[in-house]
Amino acid sequence: MISVSIIGAGNVATHLYKVFKKTEQVSIVQWYNRDLTKLSSYKNAVSITDLLSELKPVDIYIIAVSDDAIAKISEQLPFKDRLVVHMSGSVGIYDLDKKNKRGVFYPLQTFSKEAKVDFKQIPICIETIGKKNLPLLKSLAEAIGSKSYKVNSDQRKALHLAAVFVNNFTNQLYRIAHEITESEGVEFDILKPLILETAKKVQDLSPYMAQTGPAKRNDKKTIKNHLKQLENEHHKDIYNLLTNSIKKTHGK
């Protein structure tokens, strides 16, 4: 049994609470938040507190707050030599206060408030200073059915940056496609199977091997026609830049 306390009450903290609650191998000792009203609907199911001084000894303290607040709250913890981890992709392990043992437990996935989260599908990037506490973080990931990867802070930052490309930027391309179809009065729905297939294809094939289309073939006529069709200058820029990127990747 792994005992934990959660610090913070945002999306990630809440999803984590829910999966821990369902997990026999994890016991949630306390849930801390500065503003207790955010935890009020959970107060009958778990011990809640707004005082760091009330935090009892546990195996792992999990800081699930915004990136900017991690360092400060780790400083404010009124104890030492215990294992304290944060959950951020872009904050270094050394940003945690050194009075405690430090670690990172970073789930690489997109969390929205509404959507259900299946931790079995979420890779967790774990990091500790020294090897001693790594198995405990690995066990915590295993307990909730997640695959864990040992990833150092530089690697984690690279993943966080790469995630912006495959998630935020990709989603913006979907948005542009939505604008293009909408402007011709045609349903965006028609594109949904292609969106899914594009993502599925790189589960087995490298993105390099999976590429197709006019840019890869350097099909100048189609590229020219597409640029003529695009009325939004910003979309034209994106078309040109990504077309050139594909051409460069594929030696055209």
- Where in 49-108 is the site for a second copy (CB under 8 A)? 67-68, 90, 108
Q: Which stretch binds a second copy (CB under 8 A): 16-24, 94-102, 129-137, 243-251?
A: 243-251
- Restricted to residues 2-31, the positions that interact with a second copy (CB under 8 A) are none
Q: Which one, 48 or 126, has the nearer CB to a second copy?
A: 126
Which one of 45, 54, 155, 224 is in contact with a second copy (CB under 8 A)? 155
Q: Which stretch binds a second copy (CB under 8 A): 13-21, 41-49, 78-86, 160-168?
A: 160-168
Q: Which one, 23 or 90, has the nearer CB to a second copy?
A: 90
Nearest to 192 by CA among 180, 212, 177: 177
Q: CA 166 to CA 163: how far, in whole Å?
A: 5
Minimum gap (Å) between residue 161 Cβ and a second copy: 5
Q: CA 70 to CA 103: how far, in whole Å?
A: 12
- Residue 128: strand pairing partners: 103
Q: Under the criterion CB under 8 A, does residue 110 sit at the interface with a second copy?
A: yes
| Strands 124-128 and 101-107, sheet pairing | antiparallel
Q: Under the criterion CB under 8 A, does residue 244 sit at the interface with a second copy?
A: yes
Query: Position 67: which residue type?
Result: D
Residues 6+ apart with CB under 8 A from 252: 215, 216, 218, 246
Query: Position 96: which residue type?
Result: L
Structure tokens at 195: 């969106």
Which one of 25, 40, 76, 225 is in contact with a second copy (CB under 8 A)? 225
